[in-house]
Amino acid sequence: MTQQERYESAKQMYGALGVDTDAAIAKLKEIPVSLHCWQGDDVIGFDHDGPLTGGIQTTGDYPGKARTPKELMQDMDKAISLMPGKKKLNLHASYAVFEEGEFADRDKLEPKHFAKWVEFAKERNMGIDFNPTFFSHDKIKDGLTLTSPDEEIRQFWINHGKACIRISEYFAKETGVPCVMNIWIGDGFKDIPADRMGPRMRYKDSIEQILSEPYDKNLVKPCVESKVFGIGVEAYTAGSAEFTLSFAATHDGVLPLMDNGHYHPTEVVSDKIPALLCFFPEIALHITRPIRWDSDHVVLYDDETREMAKEIVRCGGLDRVYMALDYFDASINRISAWTVGFRSWQKALLNALCTPNEMLKKLQDESRFTELMVMQEEIKTYPFGAVWEEYCRQCGVAGDTGWLEEIKEYEAKVLSLRK
């Protein structure tokens, strides 16, 4: 049976459930997903020579890490060529590209320092999302940035945030696509603090000062991201889930951003998505795969990944949820990590679009729970792989593991030469 025959057979099976697979494929082609630049160089960036600090950690030392902007862009290009679907570019401020002999500290960053990334994005018809970088810098004092009691330190990071607002608006104007600007800090304490509220009040004031920078709310979408803990700040983090959610709810135009590695192990973001969509016009996600903690493993086509995608689709959230990948694995080929993660999320979205959500909802609303369970289990073995292959074919990429051979060849010819 040919690939096209397999697809036609699958199309008929899904059609019997009221699912139009052609429409699902066409819809997914329109949905942008942000691809994070920091997978390619282990979150190091280009504005410092020191180690990664600030409550996060990359493990592994696989050969071939990108060392320059040119190498990082080259590697991203290779990964992008192996992924179906629509992409955005996701940058951290630490990836500013300076001309020879030029340097600007983070509080003095300007749009011109990201002009090469804008050129890269526009040539590939991509929008750009952005993240101020509140880690890996010598002006982090005692592990604190926007919550620091040292006003000079805190003001430096406020000015950094304001600079990033201006840069985000520049991205949006240049690409014609709104820029999601995400604020996350690793500020916290290793052991039990004497004052939990004070740092959070300073954090609240700091974000408000950052957002006082004038910007077009149609172009810049500020977010606040929470975290349970980080390396070295296990006892307390200022930006808890309650803090960031409350801040977003009480500040017009600010979105809550949920990273599914930033919660307690028994919490699932798939359940939080519909809860937040009851109240927020828009929300944002950083999609990762936590194992025991926020370990940023490569996204796989696993249960929670599929459930998150299902909730976005079921809730009519494809135009209300900004989706971005966020992981950094240095123990395997980094381009493969990018590719597997992006393709896994695309599979999850396509699977959600091929789920007979209206039929299942009707069964639930009519309390026909026996039938609901049976149908939910039955569709798990439907020939989704044939639909995925057709989607990849239409996007001009391999639907099977054929792409891996390209990565192996690229590793042999390019990555292995980096010492």
Instruction: Identify the pLDDT of residue 60.
Output: 79
Residue 368: pLDDT band (50, 70, 90) is very high
Give the residue numbers annotated as catalytic, written as ranges. Answer: 184, 225, 227, 259, 262, 286, 294, 296, 326
The verdict on residue 374 lying in a domain is: no
- Report in angstroms the alpha-carbon separations of 314 from 263, 270, 350: 23, 11, 12
The verdict on residue 414 lying in a domain is: no
Share of the chain above pLDDT 70, in %: 100
Residue 370 has pLDDT above 90, yes or no: yes
The verdict on residue 400 lying in a domain is: no
**Burial class of 223 by CB neighbour count within 10 A (0 to 12, 13 to 18, 19+):** buried
Residue 291 has pLDDT above 80, yes or no: yes
The verdict on residue 408 lying in a domain is: no
Find residue 86's DSSP bridge partners.
32
Q: pLDDT (tens digit, 9 = 90+) per residue, 195-214?
A: 999 999 999 999 999 999 99
The verdict on residue 404 lying in a domain is: no
Q: pLDDT (tens digit, 9 = 90+) per residue, 250-262?
A: 999 999 999 999 8
| Of residues 74, 38, 120, the one with CA closest to residue 411 | 74
Which residue is it, tokens 């930033």?
262
Instruction: Identify the pLDDT of residue 11.
Output: 96
Strand, coil or helix: what is 167?
Answer: helix
| Of residues 387, 237, 257, the one with CA closest to residue 322 | 257
Q: pLDDT (tens digit, 9 = 90+) per residue, 68-92?
A: 999 999 999 999 999 999 999 999 9
**Owning domain of residue 288:** 31-353
Q: Are 136 and 52 in contact (CB under 8 A)?
A: yes
Instruction: Identify the pLDDT of residue 409.
Output: 94
Residue 275 has pLDDT above 80, yes or no: yes
The verdict on residue 296 lying in a domain is: yes
Q: Are 71 and 97 in contact (CB under 8 A)?
A: no
Count of the separate structural domains present in the chain: 1
| Residue 294 labelled as part of a binding site | yes
Q: CATH number of the domain at 287, please.
A: 3.20.20.150
The verdict on residue 26 lying in a domain is: no
Q: Which residue has the higher pLDDT, 293 or 83?
A: 83
Q: Which residue has the higher pLDDT, 99 or 314?
A: 314
| Of residues 125, 225, 211, 105, the one with CA closest to residue 168 | 211
Residue 292: pLDDT band (50, 70, 90) is confident
Residue 419: pLDDT band (50, 70, 90) is confident
Residue 55: pLDDT band (50, 70, 90) is low
Task: Give the residue-averaged pLDDT of 215-232.
Answer: 93
The verdict on residue 234 lying in a domain is: yes
Which residue is it, tokens 């999609």?
287
Render the burial of 46-80: b for 16+ CB within 10 Å, e for the rest: bbeeeebbbbbbbeeebebbbeebebbbebbebbb
| Residue 262 labelled as part of a binding site | yes
Task: Give the residue-averaged pLDDT of 112-120.
Answer: 97
